[in-house]
Amino acid sequence: MSSTTTFALIRHGQTDWNAALRIQGLSDIPLNDTGRGQAADAVGHLADYEWDFVVSSPLSRAAETADLIADGLGLTVTRRIGQIVERDYGPAEGLGAGPELDALRLPGDPTGIGGFHGAEAEATVAARGADALLALAEEHPGARIIVVSHGTLIRLSLMRILDRPIGTISNAALTVVAHDQAGWTLDVLNGAPSSTALAPAP
């Protein structure tokens, strides 16, 4: 068996808060019908490759996305992993752009998207996400695993394991990374091939 473990990282489908541009974080907001359709579309992108099983965040928007994908591919969701829940945004959760959210921003945040009073530190999010992926790779060497999680968790985890900037992760878009003894490689980001193409499994 190959020692390369391959991950399809999928952000959950759309929720009403996504559509309204409200910060979700740990708030357990369910998928809307658009999100369920996006999960079905993700099945089509994943079906060209062989996958062994699915894991997900326990938050309902990720769990339902994972269940829909697993059903569509004839796979099993084997675990809900608490380490890959979304970033805790604290008092910013539920807010959209405006004075109330601006009042929570930390001074000196160059991105304007990450720094909020009372939010979980980005470094903490990155570490727990990267650690969860590495644990899966070590537990299942050579496996091909679909991981359904959240946009910020995926983005920050990728930045940690790849040591490069990563932009916004779209709802239900396919990102593929692989881990072997040499480290991590990126094959597909947000549905677009990276420099190394992912070849369909025979």
Q: Is 164 annotated as a binding residue?
A: no
Instruction: Tell me, yes or no, whether 47 lies in a domain.
Output: yes
Tell me what pLDDT residue 115 has. Answer: 83
Instruction: Tell me, yes or no, whether 105 lies in a domain.
Output: no
Q: Based on C-alpha coordinates, what's the Rg of the chain? A: 16
Q: Which domain holds residue 171?
A: 5-87+123-193
Express each pLDDT in 93-127 by its tens digit.
999 999 999 999 988 755 545 689 999 999 999 99
Instruction: Tell me, yes or no, whether 100 lies in a domain.
Output: no
Instruction: Tell me, yes or no, whether 10 lies in a domain.
Output: yes
Instruction: Tell me, yes or no, whether 97 lies in a domain.
Output: no
Q: What is the pLDDT along the chain (202 residues), one digit of tens a residue?
A: 468 999 999 999 999 999 999 999 999 999 999 999 999 999 999 998 999 999 999 999 999 999 999 999 999 999 999 999 999 999 999 999 999 999 999 887 555 456 899 999 999 999 999 999 999 999 999 999 999 999 999 999 999 999 999 999 999 999 999 999 999 999 999 999 875 434 444 4
Q: Is 61 annotated as a binding residue?
A: yes
Query: What is the C-alpha to C-alpha distance for residues 14 and 33, in angstroms, rounded to an integer?
Result: 8
Q: Is 13 annotated as a binding residue?
A: yes
Q: Is 138 annotated as a binding residue?
A: no
Instruction: Tell me, yes or no, whether 9 lies in a domain.
Output: yes
Give me the DSSP letters along 36-62.
Answer: HHHHHHHHHHHTTS---EEEE-SSHHH
Are 179 and 7 in contact, with CB atoms under 8 Å apart?
yes
Instruction: Tell me, yes or no, whether 185 lies in a domain.
Output: yes
Q: Is 16 annotated as a binding residue?
A: yes
Q: Is 28 annotated as a binding residue?
A: no
| Number of independent structural domains in the chain | 1
Instruction: Tell me, yes or no, whether 110 lies in a domain.
Output: no
CATH of the domain at 30: 3.40.50.1240
Distances (CA, A) of 187 to 5, 85, 134: 13, 23, 17
Catalytic residues: 12, 86
Query: What is the C-alpha to C-alpha distance for residues 10 and 109, in angstroms, rounded to an integer?
Result: 27
